[in-house]
Amino acid sequence: MRPLLCFLVSILALAACQRSQPADPRLKSPAALAQDVAGRKLTKIFVNPEARAFFAKLPLAPASPKDAAAGQSAAVWRQLDRAQRFDAVLLAGPAGAFLPLAQHLAESPDFRLARVDNWGLLFVRGATAPYAQPAVDAETFSSAEERGIYLSQMALLLDAAGQVAAARDFMTAALVAAPNEPSVATRAAALALSRKRYPEALAQVERALAKAPHDAAALEVEARVLSAAGDKEGAWAVAEELKSRAGDRDMNALFLHARLANTAHAYQAEAESLERLIALAEKQGLSATDYRVYLGQCYAKQGLARPAVEQFQRALEDSTLSATQRADITTALETVRARAGSL
């Protein structure tokens, strides 16, 4: 199966989160990004579903049931692009919703990175001008804290676009500007995690939690760091705390809780989170296929054959599945049926 969010660094909505309401308009909305895109005379823009409402006044391509899957799968994206031939791709919001697509576009000969904003990324088809990397000090702010927040947001999105050196420079400047701002330290931890620098990531997230002990974004990063570093028990404990803090409406927190529950063999807890995720995804018009596959596997591990079969069957109803994905789910379904004997 494609890695829906798995352990990509979605970190809630870290590219836009901070504990208090900022005064600077660049931190309050993606208006500057929308204005830039509007001035480029584009006519058919693909946008990830999470960001569609932000950019409703732009010439967006019609929404498709495959849009969410395209953010996670280059194969699904290519199917959509062949059918509609987009002239630009606008990706914004939590990076986990579009990171695989951003990485694909960064290497694509058909699209070129045209803008990195603290809210999102713009790729334009056939653009010839190379991406003009903004200087770290190109933007001025009334406070060092807001400058640090902006730079750390930029760093995560530069990293998502494959601009690794620039991401490092922006994050270094962010930490200098706002060394005591928890959201900056959390983003620094996320960036270090994406580069597998686990001791650095853990040190940064501990700094964030020292300032904001119950911050959901910091707790999520801490759980991911501990899991990646091999501390499964510690990661599971943090995931439990995160779920209690974030509640049952935060899809990223729920998914992380489900995957770490699986690692801890806490299958009933995993099933509860996955069931809630399916309900939330369907309510929001998002694909629940991956959640159903995970839930089917979870039920099967508990010996619950009938509900496992039901989840695999529902997953197979997804018309966006590749042949390989369909074969994998079918194999899992038939395995459960063979073991049960009567389904």
> Tens digits of per-residue pLDDT, 227-244?
999 999 999 999 999 999
**Percentage of the chain surpassing pLDDT 70?**
93
Looking at residue 37, its pLDDT comes to 96
The mean pLDDT of 59-71, rounded to a whole number, is: 90
Classify residue 93 as exposed, middle or buried by CB count within 10 Å of its CB (0-12, 13-18, 19+).
Answer: buried
Mean pLDDT of the residues in the chain: 89
- Average pLDDT for residues 285-295, to the nearest whole number? 91
| Rounded average pLDDT over 102-123 | 95
* Average pLDDT estimate for 294-310: 96
Q: What is the pTM of this model?
A: 0.85
Residue 251 has pLDDT above 80, yes or no: yes
Pull the structure tokens for residue 32.
């500057």
Instruction: Find the farthest-apart pair of alpha carbons in the chain and give their distance in angstroms, rounded.
Output: 69
What was the pLDDT predicted at 246? 82
- C-alpha 309/C-alpha 116 separation (Å) is 44
Among residues 146, 151, 155, which one has the least CA distance to residue 19? 146
What's the first-to-final CA gap in the chain, in angstroms? Answer: 24
